[in-house]
Chains A and B, each alone.
Chain A
């Protein structure tokens, strides 16, 4: 009803398919300019800082590997957030699922003895189960009683961090007062891809997950029903989609992938669970999913960008007086730009709605 009365569509200068990428590039330019402004305010030379950032991210093969290492958990977390986003749900608890998944995988790693490959597989599976269990209560409450999943999954994040800290420091205490668990048995380690770097097979797992999700959403009828649910739940229900069941399944899948990201981190990178080991990977994944507008392959691109930012900011902190935290304003600006575009794109619809009502 709104479309019929909406304002006459503006003359299209760019083809529809190019709109998404163009807006992302626009957002990127604006946020880099914004970042430059902040760097100027701190009293540093932006060209210098961004140059160092680039060298830190891509300067040498080792640094490229470092960027990939940082991007790995963001890709997987982004895929996790994507699953929910496409169904119109919002799993902002990826961070918490990452923590419990990481702990579960580490526990399998140091607590059990299994043959080499099987051990890693069981560890990752345990991580997935833990992640899925962690979101199960919010998922069920969302599906059956419509409890807001944003608030509940966020609150679960805090509980997850505290619970894993408790398990690490009190229950599985390691002599010597370390805030980490015992090291994971070598049989559970994930295969490393590059010599001298901690980049591991987890990167491939993340990429496969992204491609798999893309194929699932575009090529299967179940994937179509999920997308339909996301764009219009009532219509989907009318069309025979079992919305409540799907809400639970989608959130469980999202949580499982979040847990997988944590398992990859402990089994592939750190080889133990450390308190506070993952600084904001889950949140970065959620942002990546939002920026990519729920497109799994776009998530990979954004996550690689975020990984490069993280890796590059390490060198930037060493070589310039700018602090690493400054770089976090770039994702912040990105989110602002994308939200603003979202707002302006919808404005025609708003005025159409008003005209219809009055």
Chain B
């Protein structure tokens, strides 16, 4: 009985790691654009396109790594189109008093999600998946080996990248510039930082990560491409980013939460419980996060208004 319960938790940890990785990778990418002040709605599309082209690359070349590069290339291309539309156009949209992002964001979302919701699937024995790493010493041992060994490299990479992203954002000049661009664009411009260039760079970096995430989906998670296989993870990542404000460590914990929910849903499915309601949980959590944030922002506006309203009589 006790052994059963430990296996349950061990495999649940393994499943959590596996389901967390794609959303973590894409959210880490999004953390760059969030820091640069872009509301990145193109994540899902970039991930899906990467998954598609990773499979194609793997099929054509017979190498998973070439597939990975193809996936990244495709996602970066999409990211560049995205930033061209959003960053370059926002300059005019903002000037005319429109809510930023409304029109170009709409175009972009159509561009990425709807059109590249590539239909059908590619399942082919010729697709080469990413190899599974066997961690020396602990591979094959009962609790630890099962929990920490035998994954594709991207799972380990994702966790390392959390720290790398943090280091880029908080320990390099580029990261500082990106953050300043997002927080105080006027200050950045007065210091001679070209904010549009920073936003383009953030966007491309984001594309690289979305490419990793998509390739992981189609070459690591399973070795095939299926219609809409990213299943809204890009939008869940948007919700995580809203909550975490793009801080890499908060992003990590947020994604773990979603990964855990996913893993539990999968587990309940195998137990025989109806999975539909459980599978809804990540989407509902994302929705709640989105609504809660807008609610909170409203609160902030009200609070500042109240403060300004009550401050003057007290002052006089």
Contacts and interface: CB of A to CB of B under 8 A. Distances in A.
Interface of A: 1-2, 85, 88, 90, 92, 137, 141, 144-148, 150-152, 154-159, 162-163, 165-166, 169-170, 232-234, 279-280, 283-284, 286-287, 290, 323-325, 328, 331-332, 334-336, 339, 342-343, 346, 349-350, 353-354, 356
Contacts of B120: 323-325
Contacts of A234: 97
Given A92-B110, A290-B107, A339-B111, 14 more contacts: A1-B95, A145-B295, A148-B41, A150-B109, A151-B286, A155-B287, A158-B232, A163-B276, A286-B110, A325-B119, A325-B120, A339-B81, A339-B85, A356-B95
Interface string B100-135: 001101111111011111111000000000000000
B274 interface: yes
Contacts of A150: 41, 105-106, 109
Contacts of B279: 162
B117 A280 contact: yes
A151 B235 contact: yes
Nearest to A85: B106
Contact of A232 (B81, B96, B108, B276): B96
Given A152-B290, A166-B276, A290-B110, A144 B283 contact: no
Contacts of B287: 152, 155-156, 159
Interface stretch (B86-94, B141-149, B162-170, B255-263): B86-94
Chain A at the B interface: SS class: helix
Given A163-B276, A163-B280, A346 B92 contact: yes
B231 interface: yes
Interface residues of B, number: 53
B39 A148 contact: yes
A94 B27 CA distance: 26
Contact of A169 (B44, B276, B280): B276
Interface of B: 39, 41, 44, 81, 84-85, 88-89, 91-92, 95-99, 102-103, 105-111, 113-120, 231-232, 235, 238-239, 274, 276-277, 279-280, 283-284, 286-287, 290-291, 293-295, 297-298
A312 to B, nearest CB: 15
A150 B114 CA distance: 12
13 contacts: A90-B102, A145-B297, A147-B293, A150-B109, A151-B239, A154-B44, A155-B283, A155-B286, A162-B283, A163-B280, A332-B116, A343-B88, A350-B89
Nearest to B96: A2
B88 A141 contact: no
A28 to B, nearest CB: 15
A141 B92 contact: no
A350 B284 CA distance: 39
Contacts of A137: 291
| Most A C-beta atoms less than 10 A away, residue of B119, B231, B232, B239 | B119
Contacts of B81: 336, 339
A287 B110 contact: yes
A31 B106 CA distance: 21
A331 B115 contact: yes
- Give the top 6 A-B pairs by smallest Cβ distance, nearest first: A166-B276, A147-B294, A145-B294, A325-B120, A332-B115, A283-B114
